[in-house]
Structure 1
Amino acid sequence: MASYHMEVPFVIWAKYMGLFGVGSVIMRGAGCIINDMWDRKLDRAVGASSLSLVVVYPFMKRVTYWPQAVLGLVFNWGALLGWSAIAGQTAWSVCLPLYIGSFCWTLVYDTIYAHQDKVDDALVGIRSTALLFGTHTQFILSSISASSLTLIAFAGYLNAQTWPFFVGVGAAAWKLAGILVRTDFQSRASCWKGFVGCGWAGAWIFAGAAVDYGLLTVEMNWPALLA
């Protein structure tokens, strides 16, 4: 969205997509490894210098029913960093609703994921929004999903995005609605399918933003595009 706003050349967009793509993989990989270390009671191996929200997330599962909120704060930091990397500063009017909307999306998909292990988690004292929401999960996640997509669409509106972006948001809304209607939160297989489906919902939003940016680039002259 920052590339669209700043009308940056394609090579700059591709460069930062690559950098943030690698960073995203590393962040998620680190989170999974650290989570496994906590679960295996190897937390002593984690030095104090490594303490961050990524490290704290597995610990939060022992003290609060909202570890998914911590995950949302961590995993969506790119919504702020990406804009500042492209523009040199953060446009809070756009980035804040985008960040909060993405945060809400994380609550949705990670709550669905947590439902897979809720029985075992309850036995060993691990907490999650899956246990907190219980039988009200479908209604609560539907409300959070609506908030997420509304905020992301609002960010797009403030960023002067055009129709491809909003088509992507609409497709994501359709996908999420189907997931929340069909997911059996008592079935691990169904929850896994719903979790994976949330990724495809996010892909629709990305695709809409990418097409929107692509249409913008064709209006730019080729020397500027390849600069």
Structure 2
Amino acid sequence: MSDTSARVADSTGNWVDTLAPAWARPYLRLSRFDRPIGSWLLLMPCWWSAALAAAMAHDLGRLPLVIVLFFIGAFVMRGAGCTWNDITDRDLDDKVERTRSRPLPSGQVTTRQALAFMVAQALVGLIVLLQFNRFAVLTGIASLLIVAIYPFMKRITWWPQIVLGLAFSWGALMGFAVTFGRIELTALVLYAGAISWVIGYDTIYAHQDTEDDALIGIKSTARLFGAHTHQALILFYGLSVMLISVALASGDARWPAWLGLAAFAAHLAWQIMRLRIEDPDLCKRLFYSNRDAGLLLFAGLLADAVMRAA
């Protein structure tokens, strides 16, 4: 087995490389704790829906606890999902420059060890989920089917980003399931808006690997859109802003939420203007910046919830 302190090519100089015990590093890398951007992006729709639902209910009583539980759940379940993704992609990852140093293709952990670690993370996620009502528990469990099939989609469709959107936007439903014990139309529209956002930002992310993906036959919207990526981003980011605005109107949102949405929209427009698809480092930075875009919208929704509960 390779040296367990070996670094992953596209994530170096982070706390896992410098502070974590050597034996733990491969597992922390499997769950992407060395680059938690994906956990933040999974978390954003959870926090949006939690804040919007609390605002609609005019009740902040459980919101702080829900925010904390969603934070824990997003990080451990994203870790479980990434571990599953690496298990299914271990042979493909070995053929891509950016991913061949990941723990499985580089031999830092075995497939059996990765499976055991995935189960452990999923159990922590289950403990978090069980803190909610029965409907929310069932809603959360239902997302696992999408998570399970996602890694295979890039082998069979040019639109794997849609399936990723279905999984990463699931939290837009969870806030309403937790708060009201049901999923309302407002939640479904928010979910659709989040899906459009995910398609946009993951297209930017996928432009880091278009050459390698073409060589090994991996499909993506980045390869599909190619030189027309800017136009596609205008479409999907614009659709995201429109759908989220419909959700806010449906939820009788007040001015702080609209201000947050305006800041969110401005950030997405800035990404489109800055993007150069031939620059992988820039694509990575713009992809990472979506955490800030999501936090801007959340800040507005949270302020709205506080205002309406006062």
TM-score (norm 1): 0.88
Once residues 131 and 74 of structure 1 are traced to their aligned partners in structure 2, the CA distance between those partners, rounded to angstroms, is: 21
Q: Please identify, of 96-105 and 78-87, the stretch whose mean Cα deviation from structure 2 is larger.
A: 78-87
Extract unaligned runs of 5+ from structure 1: 220-227
1:7 aligns with 2:51: no
Kindly indicate whether the alpha-carbon contact (under 8 Å) linking 2:60 and 2:306 is maintained by their aligned counterparts in 1: no
Q: Deviation of residue 81 (structure 1)? A: 2.1
Could you tell me how far apart the structure 1 residues matched to 2:254 and 2:145 are?
A: 37
Aligned partner of 1:26 in structure 2 is 76
- After TM superposition, the structure 1 = structure 2 runs for residues 75-224 of structure 1, keeping only pairs within 5 Å, are 75-92=168-185, 94-217=186-309, 219=310
2:23 equivalent in structure 1: none
For 1:67 and 1:23, the matched residues in 2 are separated by 24
Query: Is 1:30–1:54's contact at 8 Å kept on the other side of the alignment?
Result: no
AA of the residue aligned to 1:176: L
Q: Does 1:71 align with 2:121?
A: no
Deviation readout 1:111-170 (Å, 9 max, x if unpaired): 111111111111111111100111101001111111101110110111011001011110
Please list the CA deviations of residues 62-108 of structure 1 after superposition, one character each: whole Å capped at 9, or x if unmatched.
1111111111111111111220211122212x111101000000101
How many residues of Structure 1 are paired with residues of Structure 2 in the alignment? 215
Letter in 2 for 1:18: V
List structure 1 runs of 4+ shifted beyond 2 angstroms: 44-47, 49-52
Q: Deviations over 1:176-210 (max 9, x none)?
A: 11111111111111101110122211111111001
Higher helix share: 1
Partner Cα distance (2:188, 2:158) in 1: 25
CA distance in 2, matches of 1:214, 1:16: 15
Code of the aligned partner of 2:275: T
CA distance in 2, matches of 1:150, 1:53: 25
Residue identity opposite 2:234 in structure 1:
S
How far residue 31 of structure 1 moved from its aligned partner, in angstroms, is: 2.2
- TM-score after normalising by structure 2: 0.66
Mapped contact 1:83–1:95 kept (Cα < 8 A): yes
Deviation at 1:5?
0.6
Structure 1 residues 204-213 or 80-89, which shifts more?
80-89
Between 207-216 and 33-42, the greater mean CA deviation after superposition: 33-42
Paired residues of 2:60 and 2:305 also in contact (CA < 8 A)? no
Distance in 2, Cα, partners of 1:161 & 1:175:
21
Residue in 1 that maps onto 2:101: none
1:86 and 1:25 map into 2 onto residues whose CA distance is 21
Amino acid aligned to 1:134: G
DSSP 3-state at the match of 2:209: helix
Paired with 1:39 and 1:171, the residues of 2 have a C-alpha distance of: 37
In the TM superposition, what is the alpha-carbon distance from 1:175 to its structure 2 partner?
Answer: 0.8
User: C-alpha distance in 2, partners of 1:9/1:60?
Assistant: 39
* Alpha-carbon distance between aligned partners in 1 of 2:259 and 2:235, rounded to the nearest angstrom: 21
Other structure's SS at 1:116 match: coil
